[in-house]
Amino acid sequence: MNRTAGRTRWALVAAAALLLACMAAGLLAGAAGLSPGSVLYALLDRLPFVSLDSGLLPVEQGVLFELRVPRVLLAALVGGLLAIAGAGYQGVFRNPLADPYLLGAAAGAGLTVTVVIVALGDSGAVPVAAFAGAVGGVLLAYALGNTAGRGGGTATLVLAGVAVTSFLTAVQTFVQQLKVEELQRVYAWILGDVGGGWPQLAMVAPYALVSVVVMLAHGRLLDVLAVGDEEAASLGLHARRVRFAVLLAASLATAAAVAVSGLIAFVGIVVPHVVRRLAGWSYRIVLPLSLLGGAAFLVVADLVARTVLAPAELPIGVVTAFVGAPFFVLVLRLTRRVET
């Protein structure tokens, strides 16, 4: 038991170190060449009771604290939320292919956000609209999957999610055409972006905090659910209540991420599967490692998006799709092999 706890602690430390290294790379990369020492001094200078001269010019200070720092933090937050949401969905449905995109959460959030942008143009209503759409998309996919009968397995849930996602995306496209002047704004949001700055971070932080705390608190209960509902009930666990809480928290995490970054796919599949391969299947470790790993993954993806075609910028969703699409095919093949 102590050895397992020790491995868990070291895994968390390693993941946190990886995240810090990725964030440091994100802060240093860019057209304005900032030295590592100057960036470190500038960051330390912002701490209470610390006064250091970084040597950065006012313009360079602005680049660092108004552009790079909030962008890196937002990428880390969005990546962590999408990854932990994917892990949460996989635990609720006991399905390795469950994902915010495959289950219709992102499509539902995308539709409601598009409606808000087209009808109101009010970004203040985006998080609430995204949350409602994310929950509605997941519930619709789950209900549609159940119409095929219990025991449908992975294929039933995936097909239901694909059907719901396709339908909601079609409705979203229709809504976009109702107000062509807003098309560019909606399209830019769909491609994914983490350059919203401090206001976006402040807007999404409460939603992120609640969703992450709820999912981390349910890690042990998801482990119990993994053995089956009857066994869980014999241990005094209310399976439906646990699933509902994690489902809402994962949908809230997805909604928060989508509201500030647009549609960034595959993070919720890639990261949890890598975590399981490296650290095992217990959700007590899968959830926190997915949070840290997803944050590191999206920070690196944003770094690639900013630099691969510099001075032009590649949409971050394109980068994650390049990595995630082949990975999803691999996971699907492995899952089919296990089922057969």
pLDDT for the residue 288? 97
DSSP 101: T
Helix, strand or coil for residue 100? coil
How do residues 237-282 score in pLDDT, each as one tens digit?
A: 888 889 889 988 998 899 889 888 888 988 998 999 999 988 988 9
Counting as low any pLDDT under 70, the low residues of the chain are: 1-4, 122-123, 148-155, 332, 334-340
* Separation of alpha carbons 207 and 176, rounded Å: 27
Domain around 235? 2-339
What is the value of pTM for the model shown?
A: 0.89
Task: Choose among 195, 168, 313, 182: nearest CA to 260.
Answer: 195
The count of structural domains within the chain is 1
* Separation of alpha carbons 314 and 318, rounded Å: 7
pLDDT for the residue 64? 94
Give the CATH number of the domain where residue 24 resides: 1.10.3470.10
* Separation of alpha carbons 258 and 125, rounded Å: 13
Q: Which long-range contacts (CB under 8 A, 24 or more apart) does 154-163 make?
A: 154/95, 154/96, 154/97, 154/335, 154/339, 157/93, 157/95, 157/97, 157/98, 157/103, 158/97, 158/102, 161/99, 161/101, 161/102, 161/103, 161/104, 162/102
* Separation of alpha carbons 143 and 201, rounded Å: 33
* Separation of alpha carbons 236 and 243, rounded Å: 15
Task: Choose among 82, 80, 16, 22: nearest CA to 269.
Answer: 82
pLDDT for the residue 285? 95
Task: Choose among 246, 250, 254: nearest CA to 113.
Answer: 254
pLDDT for the residue 109? 84
pLDDT for the residue 74? 96
pLDDT for the residue 336? 58
